[in-house]
Amino acid sequence: MAQSKEQRILEFVQENAVKGDPQSVVEHIDKYCSQKEWAMNVGDEKGLILDKVFKETNPTTVLELGTYCGYSAIRMARLLKKGSRLLTVEMQPEHAAVAKPMIEFAGVQDKVQILEGATETIIPSLKTKYEVDQVDFVFIDHFKNFYTSDTKLLEKCGLLKKGSVLLADNVVYPGAPDFLEYVRTSGHYDCTNYPSHVEYSDKLDAMEKAVFKGN
């Protein structure tokens, strides 16, 4: 079986980054994906926005929709306070198969749990199967046409509390227009737009923060 791009990224990290050092893993993924092969990690520019919003929130329970190679999970886990946890959902087995060793190499496996499957089936099981009460921070970075339905599902399942922060990647490119429309007009969120660029590119993109105002 020929090696995938995602497997090449993992190999580059394992051979060049410092084992157990999440910052080193993040830097080496960015180095490979900016110099060798583009890949859809949130990247260094939008990653700084993620860091800033994450630190402001200081979350205890974090949910990520869309793991890919584990870049943003590792980026967030490196900032997680003791006793906190991050659950990340990945639908594509070949991506989860790379993210798992990537997260282990970074040494954050005790804080991060990869849930394999579709968000629409996993979200309703978070309270019962994964002992989640509510989530403080949700990083949304999966199929762009699922952002809105999964946001509504999080509300319906009672997983959001007053002050829960949603941060969505790619609201300009590839784009999530219906998500922007929903969070900005529903009356349930206070929204902030963070203009940026597509990872490792000069194409315009943005992230949107939506703070839940409570039911």
Ligand X SMILES: O=C(NCCCCCn1ccnc1)c1cc(-c2ccc(F)cc2)cc(O)c1O
Q: Which residues of 156-165 are buried (b: 16+ CB within 10 A; e: fewer)?
A: ebebbeeebb
**169 binds Mg ion per the rule CB under 5 A:** yes
Bridging pattern class, strands 135-140 and 85-90: unpaired
Nearer to Mg ion, 154 or 172 (CB): 172
Tell me if 155 sits within 8 A of 180, measured CB to CB.
no
Among 17, 86, 89, 166, binds ligand X (CB under 6 A): 89
**208 binds Mg ion per the rule CB under 5 A:** no
Catalytic, out of 141, 150, 205, 208 = 141
In whole angstroms, the minimum distance from the beta carbon of 43 to ligand X comes to: 8
The footprint of Mg ion on this chain (CB under 5 A) covers a number of residues equal to: 3
**96 binds ligand X per the rule CB under 6 A:** no
**40 binds ligand X per the rule CB under 6 A:** yes
Is 170 a residue of the active site?
Answer: yes
Nearer to ligand X, 52 or 162 (CB): 52
**64 binds Mg ion per the rule CB under 5 A:** no
* Helix, strand, coil abundance in the chain, percent, nearest 5: 45, 25, 30
Catalytic, out of 100, 144, 150, 208 = 144
Q: Where in 131-160 is the site for ligand X (CB under 6 A)?
A: 141-143
Amino acid at site 168: A
> C-alpha angle with apex 46: 106 to 201, nearest 5 degrees?
105
Residue 143 interacts with which of Mg ion, ligand X, none, CB < 5 to 8 Å by class: ligand X
Residue 40 burial by Cβ neighbours in a 10 Å radius (0-12, 13-18, 19+): middle
Is 169 a residue of the active site?
Answer: yes
Q: Which of 111, 180, 114, 169 has its CA nearest to residue 138? A: 169
Bridging pattern class, strands 189-197 and 204-212: antiparallel
Nearer to ligand X, 17 or 65 (CB): 65
- Rule CB under 6 A: which residues touch ligand X? 40, 65-66, 89-92, 119, 141-143, 169-170, 173-174, 198-199
